[in-house]
Structure 1
Amino acid sequence: MREASGRAVPVNGRYVHVEESGQGQDWVVFEAGCGCGRTCWDPLLPPLAAQARLVAYDRAGRVRSGGTTQRLGVDDLAADLIAMTEAVVPGAFVLVAHSMGGLVARRAAERLGSRLRGLLLIDPLPETSPVYDTWDRTTKKVDRVLAVTQALSRIPPLARLFSGNVRHLFPADTYRTMLAEDFTPAGISQTRREMQAVAAAVPQFRARPPQLPACPTIVLSAARAARGRERQNAAIREHQRRYARILPDGHHEDVASGHLIQAEQPQLVADRIHRLLSHTS
């Protein structure tokens, strides 16, 4: 899997690292969550490879895409996603987004129009939830912890300790790549920038919510909460459910999984992507 070759694609004066795989006439594009890149989709690619062309990429600022001196907001990342698809994908496609990537995808959907065949939001960040009322303060607390983690991640045993929560979810070669790219000082620095972008986006999305996507949309919620976060998880799921309910063509589903549904339940996620492709073929 990790022998997949990639290429640098220019977008808006910067570059993103893109990996393409699969075969067929249909296209699927993936937008990762905060702190993640193309590798978080590895468990999901094999079930889809025989039916569709698959495009996974790293946002600007991540290790393989190269650094950027600009502080990029969610709107900038949405513009990069659009530019990347214009350069790589010849026609319409299904867009799959996880967590923070849902903010990027929803903003991009405003401009993608008929190119967007379907949208799958995997445990997306629902800015309307009261959980995010004080997200700026939460981000500052988490950032202080990440600053320490960033410094200590130079020590390999500690980097493996910090990444222990994902180690069992991904193939060994994928985990090694994550360890080399995401759980490094540069990788954690980029995660901190992406968290700040989310904190800035929450009030912006509340003040100007993105237009509702007209395409068929599936929202998957992680039904298994981390210990001590049951009430927070319930509030997030309720607002994800409410969002799906107001869509022109929306469907909500609770999934027996933690936050990384694409890693814990790849076959289920692949099935929902097939459903979107079949819906619009």
Structure 2
Amino acid sequence: MRQAVGQTVQVNGRSVYVEESGRGADRVVFEAGQGLGRTCWDPVLPLLADRGRLVAYDRAGFGRSGRTAAQLGIDDMAADLVAMVEAVVSGPFVPVAHSMGGLVARRAAESLRPQLRGLLLLDPTPESAPVYDTFAQTARNVDRAMSVTQALVRSRSLARMVSGNIRRVYPADTYAAMLAEDFVPAGIAQTRKEFRAVAAAIPQLRAESPALPSCPTVLLSASRPVKGRERQHAVITAYQRRWVETLPDGRFEEVDSGHFLQAEQPGIVADRVVELLDRAPDRHARSG
């Protein structure tokens, strides 16, 4: 069973639960995708344990973090990430962000730019992608469906049913923690809020995108689409590649994986983190 020990950190009048692991001079901070928290990084963390201090946390409203009645926006989540980093992380670090977490990390990077040694993004959807053209309606449809899910997960057997895609790719002890913390009514309610947050943020992000990261950036794109979404997947992949091409120091890489790369290909994720750490100028200065 997972036995990580964490702490509660106050950020912007909210509380977030943070787990630190690993040892060494380097620092890596993990930002989960929509609907999940710190536990989604369990397959990756042991592979980096000897490389540095690893920081994974639950956004406000998820997992062991404090509940919030407020409708937080992407900017609020980014501000919480910045505040958490300021409280817990000293010096330069590499952020690793999955899916929607990429929007949060990119917005936070505007404030954290002096500390960034690199940025690793796992299968994010750029705000320019056409899938977001009608996302407000999509979010409303998803919200109606998730309102049913929110009621269903009161039953543990039904919670297992609706989280089958997670159960198939994560270790049993990690999945047990997710089932207890994320696939509960409060967790589903927070996921619904995050869908609304993305829908509200897209017009703003399209009008004024987050500043492009100047640090080395790697985007890992999942190559295996969900059945029936092959065409949409191909378009998103094209927009991922197009966004990376705008960066001063970016790399696009397709990975043989579904959307949860950190669970299906943790070795590749860990290797790319190490590559970013090794590329950082201050590391070469220390070793030269």
Query: Shorter-chain TM-score: what band?
Result: over 0.9
Shifted more, 225-234 versus 62-71: the winner is 62-71
Q: Deviations over 1:104-123 (max 9, x none)?
A: 00101111121011000100
Aligned twin of 2:52: 52
| 1:245 lines up with 2:242 in the alignment | no
Q: 1:176 maps to which residue?
A: 176
The equivalent residue for 1:99 is: 99
Which runs of 5 or more structure 1 residues have no equivalent in the other structure? Answer: none
CA deviations on 1:209-267 (whole Å, 9 max, x unpaired) are 01101100001111100111001101111111011101010000011111001110000
Match of 2:28 in 1: 28
8 Å contact kept, 1:63–1:186: no
Amino acid at match of 2:244: A
Equivalent residues of 2:37, 2:63 under 8 A apart: no
Paired residues of 2:223 and 2:258 also in contact (CA < 8 A)? yes
2:47 aligned counterpart, secondary structure: coil
3-state SS, counterpart of residue 2 of structure 2: coil
Q: Please state if 1:197 is matched with 2:197.
A: yes
Structure 2 partner of 1:145: 145
Mapped to 1, the partners of 2:68 and 2:182 lie a distance apart of 16
Aligned to 1:218, the other structure's residue is in SS state strand
8 Å CA contact 2:61, 2:67 repeated in 1: yes
Q: Is the 8 A contact 2:9 2:15 kept in 1?
A: yes
> TM-score, normalised to structure 2's length?
0.96
Contact 2:32 2:99 in 1 (8 A): yes
Distance apart, 1:2 and its partner CA:
2.1
May I ask how many residue pairs the two structures share in their alignment?
A: 281
Post-superposition offset of 1:124: 0.8
In 1: Cα distance, 2:203 partner to 2:234 partner? 21
Deviation at 1:69, TM superposition (A): 2.3
How far did 1:52 drift? 1.2
Aligned to 1:13: 13
Counterpart-to-counterpart distance in 1, 2:95 and 2:63: 23
Q: Contact 1:11/1:80 (CA < 8 Å) preserved in 2?
A: yes
Q: Corresponding residue for 1:216? A: 216
- 2:186: which partner in 1? 186
Aligned partners of 2:171 and 2:78: how far apart in 1? 29
The residue that corresponds to 2:120 in the other structure is 120
Q: Show the counterpart of 1:226.
A: 226
What letter is aligned with 2:47?
Answer: P
TM normalised by structure 1 equals 0.99
Q: Distance in 1 between matches of 2:94 and 2:113?
A: 12
Deviation at 1:134, TM superposition (A): 0.2
The runs of 5 or more residues in structure 2 that have no matched partner are 284-288
The one-letter amino acid paired with 1:198 is V
Q: Cα RMSD over matched residues? A: 0.8
SS at 1:147 equivalent: helix
Q: Distance in 1 between the 2:51 and 2:236 partners?
A: 33
The runs of 4+ residues in structure 1 deviating greater than 4 Å are none
Q: Deviations over 1:22-61 (max 9, x none)?
A: 0000000000000010010000011100111100000011
